[in-house]
Amino acid sequence: MALYNRVDGRLLKEKMRTALEKRVTISFYKYHHIINPQEFRDLLYREFDTLGVLGRIYIAAEGINAQISVPEHNLATFKTRLYSIDWLNNVRLNIAVDDNGKSFFKLKILVRKKIVADGLDDSSFDVTNSGVHVDAVAFNKLADDPNTIIIDMRNHYESEVGHFKGAICPDVDTFREELQVAEDLMRDQKDKNLLMYCTGGIRCEKASAWMKHIGFKNVFQLNGGIIKYAQEIKEQGIENKFIGKNFVFDERLGERITEDIIAVCHQCGKPCDDHTNCKNDGCHLLFIQCKECAEKYNNCCSDVCKETIELPEEQQKELRKGINKGRQVFKKGRSEHIRSQES
């Protein structure tokens, strides 16, 4: 069998959108020394492909980071096979909060140098000496303590649509930048309670260990991240200190946690927290767009892209030939095209 997908992504997306099969969106991670990442990757692909698993998984010598969806009827079998891998036995599975089953359209398992790009030299500190893991009850208690500083360890486009009340949300594009900002912000406050959180917990594992390494005394991290917190506050009926949406890195682009809309459309400024990617294949900019602007700009980020997708396909291919889109994320107030039409 081929150990990668060979079907056109556009066909797979359409198949995913029209499928009636019930699926469960799951994320999990584990830091563990993998001797042969490529061999483990191939083994995992064979196992998951036969179960109809879709999603994106990163494998590295330091462990695994997975965001997937599993057919509901195969969920029990999936857990059995996953837990049969000794170092993944009983690994915590974060089940999506607001799930329509349309999170992924193909299975992609990649071998990388790291499961999260952090820019750290892991040999320089003990990555297993992470912060104290706290559940929703303990998180709320710490959040109410005036001696606590809460830091959102996610990127700006994530915290823009949802975050914890009172949290510091650095205006950064990458986790690597986030670590430096957190270190600089807390440099003179090493005796404070440092309470960190992210989507599912993986970024805080490394971040909290690093902050302890450089001298911070009281480091805490939200166990299971926002996903687990949302489940716990619902199950236990306790106060919810998170407002808005939890951004997720799949086709959904967000899980609704509360009805609060704390962001605005990047084109007209109306209250909106729906992320989208520009329809122009030569752009694919990630930004927030309301329904009215989606109609006005034909699901594009600007007049330039709207005009581009109206061109013949061959001409569009010529225009985007050789272009490296890189990380196309809208940075508020710093875009050549977006917002200019309405400002």
DSSP state of 267: T
Strands 275-277 and 286-288: antiparallel
Could you give the CA distance from residue 178 to residue 176 in angstroms, rounded to a whole number? 5
Could you give the CA distance from residue 92 to residue 164 in angstroms, rounded to a whole number? 23
Residue 268 bears catalytic tag: no
Give tens-digit pLDDT for 42-75. 999 999 999 999 999 999 999 999 999 999 999 9
Put the strands of the sheet holding 23-31 in their side by side order.
Answer: 94-95, 23-31, 63-71, 54-60, 107-111
Phi-psi label, residue 131: left if phi above 0, alpha if psi -120 to 50, beta otherwise:
beta
Which pTM was predicted? 0.88
**What is the pLDDT, as a whole number, of residue 42?**
96
Could you give the CA distance from residue 192 to residue 143 in angstroms, rounded to a whole number? 12
**What is the pLDDT, as a whole number, of residue 5?**
76
Residue 26 or residue 175, greater confidence: 26
Which domains does the chain carry?
Answer: 9-111 (3.30.70.100), 127-235 (3.40.250.10), 263-343 (no CATH)
Mean pLDDT value across residues 181-203:
91
**What is the pLDDT, as a whole number, of residue 341?**
44
Look up residue 12 and give its two tokens: 């797979």
* C-alpha atoms less than 13 angstroms from C-alpha of 91 in its C-beta half-sphere: 27
Contact between residue 285 and residue 328 where contact means Cβ atoms under 8 Å apart: yes
Contact between residue 130 and residue 31 where contact means Cβ atoms under 8 Å apart: no
Most confident among 225-229, 283-287, 327-331 (mean pLDDT): 225-229
Of 161-175, 302-316, 325-339, the poorest mean pLDDT is in 325-339
**What is the pLDDT, as a whole number, of residue 327?**
58
Among all chains, which residue has been given the structure tokens 């971040």? 207
Active-site hit among 169, 198, 204, 272 = 198
Give tens-digit pLDDT for 265-279. 999 999 999 999 999
Mean pLDDT value across residues 152-177:
93
**What is the pLDDT, as a whole number, of residue 128?**
84
Mean pLDDT of the chain: 90
Burial class (CB in 10 A: 0-12, 13-18, 19+), 113: exposed
pLDDT above 70 coverage of the chain, percent: 93
